[in-house]
Structure 1
Amino acid sequence: MAEDDVYTKDGTVDYRGNPANKKKTGTWKACPFILGNECCERLAYYGMSTNLVLYFKERLHQHSAVASKNVSNWSGTCYITPLIGAFLADSYLGRYWTIAWFSIIYVIGMTLLTLSASVSGMKPTCHGHGEENCHATTLESAVCFLALYLIALGTGGIKPCVSSYGADQFDDADAVEKERKSSFFNWFYFSINIGALIASSLLVWIQDNVGWGWGFGIPAVAMAIAVVSFFSGTRLYRNQKPGGSSLTRISQVVVATIRKCHVKVPEDKSLLYETSETESAIKGSRKLDHTNELRFFDKAAVLAQSDKVKESVNPWRLCTVTQVEELKSILRLLPIWATGIIFATVYGQMSTLFVLQGQTMDTHFGKSSFKIPPASLSIFDTLSVIFWVPVYDRIIVPIARKFTGHKNGLTQLQRMGIGLFISIFSMVAAAILELIRLKMVRRHNYYQLEEIPMSIFWQVPQYFIIGCAEVFYFIGQLEFFYEQAPDAMRSFCSALSLTTVALGQYLSSLLVTIVTKISTKNGSPGWIPDNLNYGHIDYFFWLLAALSVLNLIAYLIVSMLYTYKRAVGTLR
C-alpha cells in the first residue's frame, strides 16, 4: 500500500489525534460498537416511551387527551434537544465526547425514572387489587417529569451524533468506502429496530404484567450497556475535528450581507473572496463551489475597498465563498425539512392514538388467557422495518440501479418521496378500522365494554405500513441530510432532520387540542373522549391522511427545485 493510501483523506484522526490509519481504524471494524450502542439506547428509549401514555393514564391518573399531549410534548422535546448536542459536537466537543457525556446524563435520567416508579414515597400511591385507582402527588409527578426531561436532554447529545459518527468511519475520498456508507445507514436503522423489537414486546409485557419498576429498570440497564459498548470501540474510531461555532459562521454571513446590502455582486463569480489554498479556511470542511441560488448572500463575499485582504480579514465584513455556501446549503434544506413534519405527525400516532385504539379491542391471544399489551402492537412496525431493510438493500437497490443507473438505485429524494406516499395508507387503514369498530359498538351497544369482541390484530396493517414508510423516508432522510450538510455542520443537519419528529409531535399535540376544543362544544364527548366508544378518532385519522396528501404534493414541488451541493478541495 502506497504511503498516500495508509491514512484517510477526509481529515479524520484517531483517538490520539493522529491521522487515522485506514487499516487500523474505521469502516465495519468500528461500526459494531456504534451499532451496539444505538441498539441498546433505542431499546432503553422505546422501552419507556412505547407504553408511556398508559403509565400517565393509569399511574399518574391523567385523562386520555392529557396523557396523549404529555407524551407528544415529551417526545417532541427529545427531538429538539439534539440541536444542543449537535452544536456542541460540531463546534467544540466533537461527536465522540458529545455522545459520551450525554450518554451519562441519559443513564442518570433512566435511574431516576426507575426510582420514581418503584420506591415508596416517589412512586404514585395506588389502592385496590392490581394497583388500580392510582393518584400521584405533585411531588411524585414532578420527579417523574424531571427524570423524563433529563432523558430528553441526554438523548439530545446521542441522536444527532451517532448516525453521523458511524458515517464518519467511511472515507468520503475513498470510492469503495463511500459506497459502503449508504449501506451503513440501512443497517444503522436496522439496529434501531432490533432494540425497538425487544422493547415493544418483552418490556411492554413486563410493564403491564410484572410492574413499572422492572419495566423501567431493564431499559436503565440497557442504557448502561450502551455506554460500555460505545467506550469499548474507542481505539477503532475515526474522529472528525470540530470546526468551531457554526452559528457564529452563519451569523457572520448574515451580518456581512446586511452591511453590504447596497453592493453589487459581480457577474464573474471568480472575483468573490475565497482563500487561495486548496484547503478550506474552516477546520474539518472542504471548500464548496459557488451556486447561483440565493445570490443575495453572495454580497458577503464581495471584496470592497474597505476590506483589507492583505492584513487580517474581519469575518463580520467579508466571508469566503465556502462560508456563504454553508448558509445556502442550510437554507436549501429547509423546504425539504418542513415536509417531514406531517410524516412525523403520522409516525407519532403509534405511541398515542394507536395505543388508545388498541386498548378498546380484544387483547387476548387466540382463546388463551394471555393478553397482549396494546403498545406491543408496535412490534409489527419494527418487524416491518426489519423485513424491509434487507429487502431494500439487497433486492430493491440492485433492481432500481438497472433502471435508473444511480449507484444507490434511487436518489435520496426519490426514496423519501416514496415513503411519504406509503405513509398516507397507514392513516387510511387506521381510519377504516376505527369506522368498522365503531359500527360494531353501535350495532351491539358495546359502549360500556372496556374491550369489544374485535381482535387487536386488526391493527397490524396500519403498523406494518408505517414500518415500510419508515424504511424509505427516515433512512433516506438520514442519508440525505448527512450528504447535503456542509462537512463541519453534519451533526447540526442530522439534528435539524430530527426536529421534524419534534415538530410532528408538537403538531399532533396541537391538533388534538384544537380538535378537542371544537368537537366538545355543546356537551358533545368530542373526537377523543376517555371512552373512545363514544368518540370519533377515525375523523382524526382522516384529517391526517388529507394533510399527508397535501404534504406529498408540496414535497414533489420542492424536491424538483432542489440543487445538490458541490464540494471541492480537501479537508483541513
Structure 2
Amino acid sequence: MEGREAQISSSGTKRGGWITFPFIAGAAAGFTLGGVGWLANLIVFLIQEFNVKSINAAQIYNIANGSTNLFPIIGAIVADSFLGSFAVVAISASISLLGIILITLTVILDPLRPQSCNNGSSLCTPPSNVQYAVLYAGLAMASFGLGGTRFTIATMGANQFDKPKDRKIFFNWYFFTFYFASAVSNTAIVYIEDNVSWRVGFGICAITNFIGLAFLLLGNRFYLHDKPQGSPFTSIVRVIVATIQKWKIELSSNIEDYYYKHDGITETATIPKMSFRFLNRAAFKTEGDVGSDGSIAKPWRICTIQQVEDLKTLIRIFPLWLSGIFLSTPIGVQGSLTILQALTMDRHLGPHFQIPAGSILVVCMISTSVFLAIIDHFLCPMWQKLTRRSPTFLQRIGLGHVLNILSMAISALVEAKRLKIAQAHHLQGQPGAIVPMLALWLFPQLVLVGIGEAFHLGQIALYYQEFPMALRSTSTAMIAMIIGIAYYLSTALIDLVRRVTGWLPNNINNGRLDNVYWLLVVVGVLNFGYYLVCASLYKYQNVEKEEEDSNSETNR
C-alpha cells in the first residue's frame, strides 16, 4: 500500500486494523476529558476567579473554542506535509498538557489571579497585565494543543482501515467516545470545579490529558503510519499558476496532449473531465514542459490530470463547506449565551443538588450521542427499507439545518418567558439576581441542537470520502475549521449586537436576548436556503463508489 508501512513490521507485529482502536479510543477519551474539563466551565471560571464581565467572558469562551477548532487545519497540513498524524497528535497533546498546567497554576498561586469579590459587584479588581498574560498563554496552549489532537487523531484512526465499512464503524465509535468523554467532563469534572475546588478540577484535567498521551504512545508499535507526501496544497497552487500561464492555449480532446506521469508513476490515461474545463490547461503539454525521460522539466508550468481533478473536487465542495460555517455560527452564539442564562436561573434538582452552569451544555452532547446510535441502528435501516436506498449525506445534513433553526426559535420563546418572569419580580436592576424559573426550561433547545448535530456530523464522512486522497487528513480537519471560524464569527456577531443594539448588557435581565435568538433564526433560514441550492447542484464524486464497494463486501 503506497504511503504506508507494511501491514507486518520487521518485528512481526501486525499493524493497523482493530487492534489499534483501544489505544486510539483511550487517547481520544483522555484528551477530551482533559480539554473539555477546563473549556466547558471557562465562562464561570473567568467570572468567578478573574472578575471578568459576563458578556466579555462569553466572548473569551468563544475565542478559545474557535482556537480549539481552527488549529486542526494547521495540524492536518503539518501531518499531511511533514510529520504524519501520529507525530502531530503527540506534539499537540504535550502542548495541551503544558497549557492545562499553566491554567492550574493560576488557581494555585494567588499572585496569578485578582482578588476575589462578590459576583456582579462594580468594585471588583480587574486582572493585571501579568495575570492576563499568564491566563491567555495557558488558554492559547491548551486550546491549540486540544485542537491539534481532536480531528487529526480521527483521521489517524480512519487510516488504520482499508474497507469503507470498517472506516464508517470507526467514525461512529470515535464520535461516541468523544461525546461520552465530553459528557463526563461537562458533568463530573465541572461539578468538582464548582463544588470542590478549581485546583482539583484542573488537576484532574491535567492527569487525564497525560493518560491520553500515554495511551497514544503505548499503541505506537501497532499503528499504520502514513508517510508525508509533501504539502498537498503545493500541487493546488501549481495547478492555479500553470493554468494562468497557459490561459490563451486552445485545449485538445486528445489524451496524448495531457500529462499523466508523476514521480515515476503513470496515472490511468483518461480524457480530462469537462467540468471547470479551463483548469485542464495546467495538464496540457507544451514545448519544454516535459523532459526527454518523461519527467516534469518545469514544475510550475505542467501538472498531472489527477492534480487538476483534485483542485476541481475542492472547488465543487467549497460552497457546501461555506454553508457549514453559517450553520455553526448560531450554535456558537447559543452555547455561550445559554450558560449565561443558566447562571441567572434556578438550577436546583431537589433541595441539595444544583446543576453547575457549565454543565448545562451536556444535554446537547448526550442527545447527540444517543441520536448517533438511533440514526445508524434504526432511522437509516428504516429509511432503506422504505425507499430501498440509504439516506444520503446531504439529506442528513439538511435535516440538521432544520433542527437547528427550530432550536433557535425555541431558545427565543424560552428567553422571552424568562425575561417576563424577571420583570414580574423586578429583577432587572439587581446584578447576579436569580430568576425563579427552572433551568430545565433550557433543555428542549439543547436537545434539538444535539439531534441536529448528530445529523450534520455526516459532513465528516462526506468530506473524508469526497476529498482527494492527498487531503484526507485535511478533510476531517475542515469540519473543525468550520466550527473554529463559526466561533470567531459568533464572537464578532455578539460584539456587533452589543454595539448596534441594547440587547446584550452585562446583566442579561436588562436586555433582550430573545431578539438575538430571533436574529439567529433569520440567519439560519437564509443559510438553509443557500444550502438547498448548493446541495441540489452538487454531484457526488466518490461516495457512490464507496457505497458500491461496501455493498459488494456485505454480499460476499
- Fold similarity call, TM over 0.5: yes
Using the aligned pairs only, state the percent identity: 32
Secondary structure in 2 aligned to 1:453? strand
Inter-partner Cα distance in structure 2 for 1:289 and 1:10: 25
C-alpha distance 10-32 of structure 1, shift in aligned 2 (>3 A): farther
Q: Is 1:434 equivalent to 2:420 in the alignment?
A: no
Matching residue's letter, 1:164: T
C-alpha displacement of 1:124 = 3.0
Q: What's the CA shift string for 1:419-445, capped at 9, x where partnerless?
A: 111111111111110011111122332
1:364 to 334, 342, 348: 348
Inter-partner Cα distance in structure 2 for 1:373 and 1:134: 25
Tell me if the contact between 1:362 and 1:456 (Cα under 8 Å) persists in the aligned partners: yes
2:109 to 98, 102, 119: 119
Tell me if the contact between 2:254 and 2:271 (Cα under 8 Å) persists in the aligned partners: no
Q: Is 1:42 equivalent to 2:32 in the alignment?
A: yes
Residue of structure 1 equivalent to 2:333: 349
1:297 to 251, 273, 279: 279
2:317 to 333, 338, 342: 333
Inter-partner Cα distance in structure 1 for 2:262 and 2:327: 44
> What is the root-mean-square deviation in Å for CA atoms of aligned residues?
2.7
Inter-partner Cα distance in structure 1 for 2:341 and 2:6: 50
User: Is 488-497 or 250-259 further displaced after alignment?
Assistant: 488-497
Matching residue's letter, 2:21: C
C-alpha distance 302-289 of structure 1, shift in aligned 2 (>3 A): closer
Residue of structure 1 equivalent to 2:303: 319
Q: What's the CA shift string for 1:208-227, capped at 9, x where partnerless?
A: 22222222221111111110
Q: Which runs of 5+ in 1 are unaligned?
A: 1-8, 172-176, 520-525
Residue of structure 1 equivalent to 2:455: 472
Q: Is 1:454 equivalent to 2:430 in the alignment?
A: no
Q: Is 1:391 equivalent to 2:412 in the alignment?
A: no
C-alpha distance 116-492 of structure 1, shift in aligned 2 (>3 A): same
How many residues of Structure 1 are paired with residues of Structure 2 in the alignment?
539
Q: What's the CA shift string for 1:319-355, capped at 9, x where partnerless?
A: 0001111211222221111111122113223541000
Residue of structure 2 equivalent to 1:306: 288
Inter-partner Cα distance in structure 1 for 2:266 and 2:77: 20
C-alpha displacement of 1:268 = 4.1
Q: Is 1:558 equivalent to 2:541 in the alignment?
A: no
Inter-partner Cα distance in structure 1 for 2:305 and 2:490: 40
Inter-partner Cα distance in structure 2 for 1:242 and 1:108: 27
C-alpha distance 356-95 of structure 1, shift in aligned 2 (>3 A): same
Q: What's the CA shift string for 1:270-298, capped at 9, x where partnerless?
A: 642112899567xxxx9998432222211
Tell me if the contact between 1:197 and 1:379 (Cα under 8 Å) persists in the aligned partners: yes
Q: Is 1:219 equivalent to 2:205 in the alignment?
A: yes
C-alpha displacement of 1:91 = 0.8
C-alpha displacement of 1:33 = 1.4
C-alpha displacement of 1:540 = 0.7
Residue of structure 2 equivalent to 1:548: 524
Secondary structure in 1 aligned to 2:84? helix
Residue of structure 1 equivalent to 2:470: 488
Q: Is 1:138 equivalent to 2:129 in the alignment?
A: yes
C-alpha displacement of 1:11 = 4.8
C-alpha displacement of 1:251 = 1.4
Secondary structure in 2 aligned to 1:454? strand
Q: Is 1:107 equivalent to 2:97 in the alignment?
A: yes
C-alpha displacement of 1:564 = 2.7
C-alpha displacement of 1:269 = 5.3
User: Is 446-455 or 138-147 further displaced after alignment?
Assistant: 446-455
Q: Which runs of 5+ in 2 are unaligned?
A: 546-556
Tell me if the contact between 1:294 and 1:328 (Cα under 8 Å) persists in the aligned partners: yes
2:22 to 15, 29, 32: 32
Residue of structure 1 equivalent to 2:168: 182
Inter-partner Cα distance in structure 2 for 1:276 and 1:92: 20
Inter-partner Cα distance in structure 2 for 1:265 and 1:167: 39
Residues 143-222 of structure 1 correspond to what in structure 2 (within 5 A)? 143-171=134-162, 177-222=163-208
C-alpha distance 126-443 of structure 1, shift in aligned 2 (>3 A): closer
Q: Is 1:235 equivalent to 2:221 in the alignment?
A: yes
C-alpha displacement of 1:560 = 1.8
C-alpha displacement of 1:546 = 1.2
1:60 to 47, 50, 54: 50
Inter-partner Cα distance in structure 1 for 2:499 and 2:103: 32
C-alpha displacement of 1:14 = 5.1
TM-score (norm 2): 0.91
Inter-partner Cα distance in structure 1 for 2:402 and 2:70: 26
Residue of structure 1 equivalent to 2:357: 374
Inter-partner Cα distance in structure 2 for 1:517 and 1:53: 21
Matching residue's letter, 1:379: V
Inter-partner Cα distance in structure 1 for 2:489 and 2:253: 44
Residue of structure 2 equivalent to 1:5: none
Residue of structure 1 equivalent to 2:61: 71
C-alpha distance 310-497 of structure 1, shift in aligned 2 (>3 A): farther
Inter-partner Cα distance in structure 1 for 2:53 and 2:38: 19
Residue of structure 1 equivalent to 2:4: 12
Tell me if the contact between 1:95 and 1:161 (Cα under 8 Å) persists in the aligned partners: yes
TM-score (norm 1): 0.88
Residue of structure 2 equivalent to 1:523: none
Q: Is 1:96 equivalent to 2:86 in the alignment?
A: yes
C-alpha displacement of 1:513 = 1.1
Secondary structure in 1 aligned to 2:436? strand
C-alpha displacement of 1:153 = 2.4
C-alpha displacement of 1:543 = 0.8
Secondary structure in 2 aligned to 1:238? coil
Tell me if the contact between 1:59 and 1:136 (Cα under 8 Å) persists in the aligned partners: no
C-alpha distance 289-547 of structure 1, shift in aligned 2 (>3 A): farther
C-alpha distance 315-309 of structure 1, shift in aligned 2 (>3 A): same
Residue of structure 2 equivalent to 1:512: 494
C-alpha displacement of 1:92 = 1.2
Residue of structure 2 equivalent to 1:414: 395
